[in-house]
Structure 1
Amino acid sequence: MVMAQSLFIALKQQHPDCHIDVLAPAWSLPLLERMPEVRQGITMPLGHGQFDLRSRIRIGRQLRSHHYDQAIVLPNSWKSSLIPFFARIPKRTGFLGELRRGLLNDVRKLNKTLLTMTVQRFVALSLPDEASQPPTYEFPKLTITTEQQLNVCRKFEITGADFIEIPHPSALLNNLGGSEEVVPIVSKILALCPGAEFGPAKRWPIEHYAAVARQKQQQGWQVWLFGSDKDKAVAERINALSGDICRNFAGNTSLAEAVDLLSLTDAVVSNDSGLMHVAAALDKKLIAVYGSSDPGFTPPLHAAAEIIDLHLDCSPCFKRDCPLGHTRCLTEIRPEQVLAALDT
């Protein structure tokens, strides 16, 4: 969803007056709300892999009243093309796949040699079929308001005295209590994002995360842990190994709250995960640790993001678990490498 913002930006550049609505899973709507190019997110009630033809017909009919001019279908599945078809949207654009001709009437052939990155494939669908490839693209940029930052700080009882650096996004917290006095300056904030939905072969060892946390805490930084409910146990182990010095938000926030909290941090260390892309779109100093996945295919979209990848002969293998049983692509990335990257 974060990478899709580059498509939305491209559409706005080509058609400044266009209205962009996005049909997407409910969990992703907070991200869309933080993309100024998007007019509204529309909840897609069907889950991944769920067919339910009757519901797709119903949703398509409900969308007819919007009189959309074009639908751009990012998934390559046959079923993802049904709703735009039933909505009778005149131009239905997407890549050829799963016998979608007829459902789509602006069908593109995907040249994986030219379009090597996911973001390139998304943006290419905004352009005429005859446009030169690969396309140029803008980086995603999520917009967080002062009100959103204040709300999340109130909820989690974060005060202005928790921060350093002026100007800093969190300087707004000076007024949390209604006072306009300058607050004490204490520390910078490092965010650690140790989760990876895909599997263990994308997760940097918890011992390494704990070592980074300890070192940065000794340098006067605060350390915040982020992740979904599935990452809660991993985050708790990192915190325990580091001596309970971290503020652990993993499993305790909504996605919207996690995004708004990340906007207050100074630097982020992350596996190849959704939060990595969020951090890049928030313009954070980002150290991205890669193991089984390919940083050339789905890199963090930020010019200053630093990718740490050992380029072993066995990687990227794109496996959930290391097929060789050693996960050297991750274990041999030492905490010292990440700490050095944070200090540059």
Structure 2
Amino acid sequence: MTLRRGLIVAPSWIGDAVLAQPLFQRLQERHPGLVLDALAPRWVAPVLSRMDEIGEVLDNPFAHGELNLKARWALGRQLAARGYDAAWVLPNSLKSALVTAFAGIPLRVGFTGEARYGLLNCRHTLDKSATPLMVERFAQLAEAPGRQPPRPIAPPRLHSREADQVRTLAALGLERPSRLLVCCPGAEYGPAKRWPEAHYASLARAAAAQGWTVWLLGSHKDGPVGENIAQAADGCARNLCGATSLDQAIDLLALADHVVCNDSGLMHVAAALGRSLTALYGSSSPGFTPPLSERATVLQLGLECSPCFKRECPLGHFKCLQDLEPLRVLDTLPR
């Protein structure tokens, strides 16, 4: 089957969107000349726009859990006019597959998920043991059902061009430091994935003493966390959480000489930009969504109670991150 134009129904999480990029690369290898567009929530769209494989990013206006059949039907009819030959539906929900069916796209690919038998006509079955990594599961969708993706899978890649970086620095009134450490203290999933604010402040003070300039990056939800860290760091860290768009955050991460992150979307962005990186794991596991970069160092304590994959520590002590000391993280910074 000759495929000329395809649609990606993108995930709703920044990190998952980054991990899907090798799938897009594989699709274009298998189908030379394939033009790929992405239907994505607006908070994820900037990540898709930094992928060479993606042509146009279309707005997916639906909130998490929102059905709104009438609006989904209308969007499907708009997409029908674009003449897509195929669609790859990355989320596993029934709702995420509706629009592609309403659009009448001939080939609709995805995991069976929430019993999507009538919505997808090329269905894959998830084998967690055969594809333990999220990036492998996405990559499988480029293959025929029942066939594993070829390995090794190339790590995700995002671009940030020099002109973008210059524009971002000017817009934010910043100058590039000679030695930049970017810390990303947020984690959308919940507190059990966040290294303590006091530890980030201690790291910032120690790094500043070694000549690093420290910037804190995150969403507007991370603004109060960033402010607490900046105050506790006694002026050794600049809080930019909530002060940038995601596009701008990507450019600032690309400028960093080193990044320290919780297991979060920005961790995957930093890895895909090829930055030197320290990734901190507590309640989650690098066995499922590791930073896919040879320049990444993963730190975790490996306690008996972790990974628990909970939003809040079920035991109330947060030892998996509380006991991960700042000096150990400091030791991972380039000399």
TM-score, normalised relative to structure 1 = 0.90
Q: What do you get for the CA RMSD once the two structures are aligned?
A: 1.3
Displacement of 1:130 after TM fit? Answer: 4.0
Aligned to 1:139: 155
Residue of structure 1 in register with 2:194 after alignment: 203
Larger radius of gyration: 1
Deviations 1:78-111 (A, max 9, x none): 1111111111111111111222111111011111
Tell me the distance in 2 between the aligned counterparts of 1:79 and 1:199. 25
Partner of 1:190: 181
Residues 236-257 of structure 1, C-alpha deviation per residue, up to 9 Å, x if partnerless?
1111111022121101111111
Question: Residue 135 of structure 1: CA displacement?
Answer: 4.7
* Aligned equivalent of 1:300: 291
1:153 aligns with 2:144: no
Q: CA deviation at 1:204?
A: 0.5
Q: Does 1:256 align with 2:272?
A: no
Are 2:87 and 2:107, in contact at CA under 8 Å, matched by a contact in 1?
yes
1:287 is aligned, of 264, 278, 282, to: 278
The answer as to whether partners of 1:123 and 1:135 remain within 8 angstroms in 2 is no
2:33 is matched with 17
Q: How does 1:231-250 map to 2 (within 5 A)?
A: 231-250=222-241
In structure 2, list runs of 5 or more residues that go unmatched.
1-16
CA–CA distance in 2 between the matches of 1:18 and 1:326?
A: 51
Decide which of 199, 202, 216 is 1:225's aligned counterpart: 216
Describe the SS at the equivalent of 2:35: coil
Task: Say yes or no: does 1:129 pair with 2:151.
Answer: no
The 2-side partners of 1:8 and 1:146 are apart by 24
Q: Is the 1:120–1:134 Cα contact (8 Å) retained in structure 2?
A: no
Please tell me the residue identity of whatever aligns with 1:13: E
Distance 2:155 2:321 in 1: 27
1:73 is aligned, of 72, 79, 89, to 89
Contact 2:125 2:146 in 1 (8 A): no
Residues 46 and 247, structure 2, Cα contact 8 Å, conserved in 1: yes
- Structure 1: which 4+ aligned runs deviate by more than 6 Å? none
Aligned equivalent of 2:51: 35
Instruction: Tell whether the 8 Å contact from 1:92 to 1:106 is kept in structure 2 after alignment.
Output: yes
Q: Contact 1:10–1:138 at 8 Å: present in 2 too?
A: no
SS at match of 1:20: strand
- 2:181 is paired with a residue whose SS is strand
> d(CA) in 2 for partners of 1:338 and 1:223?
14
Asked if 1:6 corresponds to 2:22, the answer is: yes
Give the count of matched residue pairs: 319
Matched, 1:272 2:288: no
Task: Give the 3-state SS of the residue equivalent to 1:342 in structure 2.
Answer: coil
* Counterpart-to-counterpart distance in 1, 2:148 and 2:142: 12
TM-score (norm 2): 0.92
Contact kept in structure 2, 1:194 and 1:231, CA below 8 Å: yes
**Identity %, equivalent residues:** 48
